């Protein structure tokens, strides 16, 4: 990328533009990653970020009480990364603490620690966010270990549930066009947009804070746009351990909080009823089948999630998964 820009300027002006000069003309991008006990995953993620073609960025890792040696690994192997160590806190709060340290005009928020990025990941995002009407840009994620199997190409919302566009499908022309989406699991935004929308909502704790930010941005008139030329690879969890009552609790609670906060009264009531009846049994049966554990354990987790979402509480412990 730099060589192409430099040679173009050389032809036009007869002189070479240095990397330092070019860097000062590009907005600083702050990349914020929350982490809990994901040492190996985070190492791969940071290694990919070290290979970015975009020359002007900073990386901030907020480690939420890891016990697997993650902070020591970051300090030893990635000394240029800014590391903030905290106690066990939720993802929304971790992002907000990272944002408080950030200096960038562009913010790549909550890149997952189990994600690796392509070398040109940042360039299309920065370009998309030059348009004032675009408040949020997201990138296309492939499944790690594949060349073209999509994990997500932005999210759509169906019956109050964010779902990944193209998940599990081969890449195609449909997913290679810049398009508006409802929300996204990982996003980039501008500093001025953040100042209008506000910080990430810490009430979600785990899951949902990204969709909530996108919905608040859309209410202010901003577009949420898929930037298909920006790509990453996401290590999708395929283990049975991921089908836990804790994960089901946080997922159901996050979905219902989105309904409570963002939907008008009449559809909200109908959608909550749908989640508390039909989806209740589908979720519990699916998790029970996939894990081989009792249907009742998952049903109890859902009951607690529904109650806590409606009363705006949380009663599960704060254990986070290493990836999402």
Domain residue spans of the chain? 2-234, 240-311
- The CATH code for residues 2-234 is 3.90.550.10
pLDDT in single tens digits along all 324 residues of the chain: 333 333 333 333 333 334 454 555 899 999 999 999 999 999 999 999 999 999 999 999 999 999 999 999 999 999 999 999 999 999 999 999 999 999 999 999 989 999 999 999 999 999 999 999 999 999 999 999 999 999 999 999 988 899 999 999 999 999 999 999 999 999 999 999 999 999 999 999 889 999 999 999 999 999 999 999 999 999 976 433 567 899 999 999 999 999 999 988 878 899 999 999 999 999 999 999 988 899 999 999 999 999 999 998 888 765 544 444
Measured CA to CA, the distance from residue 161 to residue 272 in angstroms comes to 11
Measured CA to CA, the distance from residue 239 to residue 225 in angstroms comes to 31
Structure tokens at 253: 């609670």
Nearest CA among 92, 41, 82, 33 for reference residue 58: 82
Measured CA to CA, the distance from residue 138 to residue 224 in angstroms comes to 8
Q: How many helices (H) and strands (E) does the chain have?
A: 12, 12
**Angstrom distances, CA of residue 322 to CA of 33, 64, 81, 237:** 12, 11, 19, 10
DSSP character for 183? B
Measured CA to CA, the distance from residue 279 to residue 273 in angstroms comes to 9
Confidence (pTM): 0.87
Query: SS3 for 312?
Result: coil
Handedness of CA 270, 271, 273, 278 (dihedral sign): positive
Query: SS3 for 196?
Result: helix
Burial class from Cβ neighbours inside 10 Å (0-12, 13-18, 19+) for residue 109 reads: buried
């Amino acid at each position: 990328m730099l060589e192409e820009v430099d040679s173009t300027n050389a032809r036009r002006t007869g002189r070479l533009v240095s990397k330092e000069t070019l860097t000062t003309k590009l907005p600083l991008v702050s990349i914020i990653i929350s982490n809990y006990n994901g040492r190996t995953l985070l190492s791969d993620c940071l290694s990919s970020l070290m290979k970015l073609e975009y020359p002007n960025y900073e990386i901030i890792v907020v480690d939420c009480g890891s016990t697997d040696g993650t902070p020591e690994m970051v300090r030893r192997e990635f000394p240029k990364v800014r590391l903030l160590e905290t106690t066990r806190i939720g993802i929304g709060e971790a992002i907000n603490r990272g944002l408080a340290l950030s200096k960038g005009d562009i913010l790549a928020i909550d890149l997952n620690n189990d994600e690796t990025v392509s070398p040109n990941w940042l360039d299309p995002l920065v370009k998309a966010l030059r348009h004032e009407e675009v408040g949020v840009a997201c990138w296309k994620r492939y499944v790690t270990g594949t060349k073209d199997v999509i994990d997500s190409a932005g999210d759509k919302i169906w019956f109050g549930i964010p779902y990944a566009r193209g998940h599990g499908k081969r890449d195609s022309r449909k997913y290679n066009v810049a398009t508006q989406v409802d929300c996204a699991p990982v996003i980039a935004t501008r500093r001025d947009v953040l100042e209008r929308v506000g910080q990430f909502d810490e009430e979600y704790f785990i899951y949902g804070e990204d969709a909530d930010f996108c919905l608040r941005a859309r209410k202010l008139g901003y577009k949420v746009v898929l930037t298909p030329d920006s790509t990453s690879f996401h290590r999708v969890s395929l283990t049975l351990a991921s089908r836990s009552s804790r994960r089901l609790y946080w997922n159901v609670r996050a979905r219902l909080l989105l309904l409570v906060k963002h939907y008008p009264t009449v559809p909200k009531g109908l959608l909550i009823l749908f989640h508390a009846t039909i989806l209740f049994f589908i979720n519990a049966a699916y998790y029970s089948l996939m894990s081989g554990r009792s249907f009742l354990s998952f049903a109890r987790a859902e009951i607690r999630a529904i109650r806590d979402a409606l009363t705006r509480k949380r009663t599960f412990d704060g254990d986070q998964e290493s990836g999402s």
